Structure 1
């Protein structure tokens, strides 16, 4: 049985009543992975369960075919949330940037969509935040966010009936989270963004396939790095 780290247990508690036993869905192989190289030891809980919002928000509304923009203020705010989670090693801060459960329940056609969201997607997201924290804080200085470069021209519409989906959505792989330490630019990949009602959300940060208890960082690089290949869902 997988033992959940304290922060992970806090995050999945918000949907525990919805998540019964189920099996994860086979996923395409992720590209250019770097497993976490440092043991991820348990830490004190940084947020209380009440800090994890259960407000359904836009995820409870119907999907739209709008292609998201990567230049809006709301998108920049989501990127800032993701960055804050990475630099402070507090995954709860990034949950506003993560694909919301109510939307996932509308999109997917699995045996237990809530269980898959909590025990696979959120669990992996937490591990990848921890692994990304180890990378971005390893350069001997204070990391500063530059932004998230999104290859919007590589976005593809994933139609209903594919990848265990009831509804369609936009998907863009291989974005680059760019930051600086001193005068040096670095970046890591954000493996997969998908859309809900014209907004990009993270669904996979570092990897899709991996050991269940291992975090991963996608293609860390000096400089802005390279976008991931198009395709996928």
Structure 2
């Protein structure tokens, strides 16, 4: 079971945050589920295309949407941390979610930050595990009816 206290996790969260602040999805990629893992896990006929076009496509849109949420104060916003409800994590067996390997999945994680002296947060729709680490696989809600960036459950 991955933890939210591991240095690699912290580095990934920091990369995600920097990508949001800078409006640069490439900076946020270290916290996204690796393509090599996706190709091993998913039992899709064209998992590579699904990864590049759907998953990465939505991730980029969601990074841009989160940057817009921060608005003109993006550079001054400060990351507080990410909470991962480990007790809510589920072991997903082969055959579920079109996968051929098992992994942990957790819903309900939240990224917390301060902006203009106020504490705010938004959800990370779904994290899944790979080799003992949590990664974002769906930043915003999944599935979606159309390709738009979405900040999941913003508060504050």
Q: TM-score, normalised by structure 1?
A: 0.64
Cross-structure match for 2:115: 181
| Stretches of 4+ aligned residues off by more than 4 angstroms | 138-141
State the structure with more CA Rg.
1
Matches within 5 A, 1:101-116: 101-116=35-50
Cross-structure match for 1:46: none
Give the alignment's Cα RMSD to 1 decimal. 1.4
What is the CA distance between 1:138 and its match in structure 2? 5.5
Cross-structure match for 1:134: 68
Native 8 Å contact 2:21 2:74 kept in 1? no
In structure 2, the CA distance between the partners of 1:197 and 1:106, relative to structure 1 (3 Å rule), is same
Segment of structure 1 superposing worse, 193-202 or 207-216: 207-216
Cross-structure match for 2:141: 207
- Residue 213 of structure 1 aligns to a residue in which SS? coil
In structure 2, the CA distance between the partners of 1:88 and 1:210, relative to structure 1 (3 Å rule), is same
Partners in 2 of 1:109 and 1:71 — Cα distance?
Answer: 31
User: Of the candidates 123, 126, 132, which is equivalent to residue 57 of structure 2?
Assistant: 123
Give the number of equivalent residue pairs. 156
What is the CA distance between 1:213 and its match in structure 2? 2.9
Unaligned runs of 5+ in 2: none
Partners in 2 of 1:140 and 1:105 — Cα distance?
Answer: 34
- Residue 216 of structure 1 aligns to a residue in which SS? coil
Match status 1:194 vs 2:132: no
- Relative to its length, the structure with more strand (as a share) is 2
Partners in 1 of 2:41 and 2:89 — Cα distance?
Answer: 18
In structure 2, the CA distance between the partners of 1:173 and 1:138, relative to structure 1 (3 Å rule), is farther
Cross-structure match for 1:163: 97
Cross-structure match for 2:30: 96
Unaligned runs of 5+ in 1: 1-66, 223-233
